[in-house]
Amino acid sequence: MNQIDLNNRCAVVTGGAQGFGRAITERFVASGARVAIWDHDLRLAEKTAKEIGDAVIAVNVDIADAAAVEQARDATLKAFGRIDILVNNAGITGKNGPVWETDLTDWQRVMRINLDGPFICCKAVVPTMLTQKYGRIVNIASIAGKEGNPNAAHYSASKAGLIALTKSLGKELAGHDILVNAVTPAAAKTAIFDQMTQTHIDFMLSKIPKGRFVLVEELAAMVSWLASADCAFSTGAVFDISGGRATY
């Protein structure tokens, strides 16, 4: 494992109790950071925090609830004193199906978590970063946001929106040493697969030239660099980690 310096940094990882979020939390802690897991499943988040160690705390929050996010921010600041890193990782896929068979409520639920949530979290945390004159924000988007997966229009659209949010916010904060970037992974074998049909899973795998899904540890390595001071000139950018699937 390459050494990345996150010593004395304090991070928030949404959806950090499992999957990508847990791997990112583990890599951050191994790199010297303290981490607040923001998750709707408090029991699982507390279990994860206990397993990783004393550098991790669990905070119960619905990231699409602005008041709840502000409370989570305040609780994190009380525990750590600062927030240097925000990773917007929490997300859902919704049910697979063509647009004309997608329920509006399912569309809205995916947008609420995958796009409204990161916006609300950024809105709550950025003022703290501005006061500190330092920050790193990493948004976990998806290759689906660049290409548009069939039978996953809501998920694809939400991740495309997250990419655009990344670019806009990156430009707004470029003069403040607060860098905002996104990563676009191919799928990984995490609990999110439980929300997909096997047909959709097989479709995603067939599109990856490397012939396998990304490992959560591989994504965590990329995110850790983007969250570090070494990432000093890239902002508003999208970093591909799709096993060769992305064509632009």
- In CATH, what number is assigned to the domain containing residue 134? 3.40.50.720
What's the confidence (pLDDT) of residue 207? 79
The answer, yes or no, to whether residue 195 has pLDDT greater than 80, is: no
What's the confidence (pLDDT) of residue 126? 98
What share of the chain has pLDDT > 90, as a percent? 82
Which of these is catalytic: 28, 155, 213, 225? 155
Q: Per the structure, how many domains does the chain have?
A: 1
What are the C-alpha distances in Å from 151 to residues 29, 169, 200, 221? 37, 29, 8, 30
pLDDT tens digits for 107-153? 999 999 999 999 999 999 999 999 999 999 999 999 999 989 899 99
Q: Is residue 5 part of a domain?
A: no
Query: Which H/E stretch holds residue 157?
Result: helix 153-173
Q: Is residue 248 part of a domain?
A: no
Question: What are the φ and ψ backbone dihedral angles of 191, each rounded to 5 degrees?
Answer: -60, -20
Domain range for 21 is: 10-238
Q: Is residue 244 part of a domain?
A: no
What's the confidence (pLDDT) of residue 34? 98
Give the chain's mean pLDDT.
94
Quote the pTM value. 0.93
In total, the chain counts a number of residues equal to: 248
For the beta carbon of residue 162, count every other beta carbon within 10 angstroms: 25
What's the confidence (pLDDT) of residue 29? 98
Q: How confident is the model at residue 172 (pLDDT cuts 50, 70, 90)?
A: very high
Q: Which of 172, 137, 144 shows the shortest CA–CA distance to 158? A: 144
* 248 belongs to the catalytic site: no
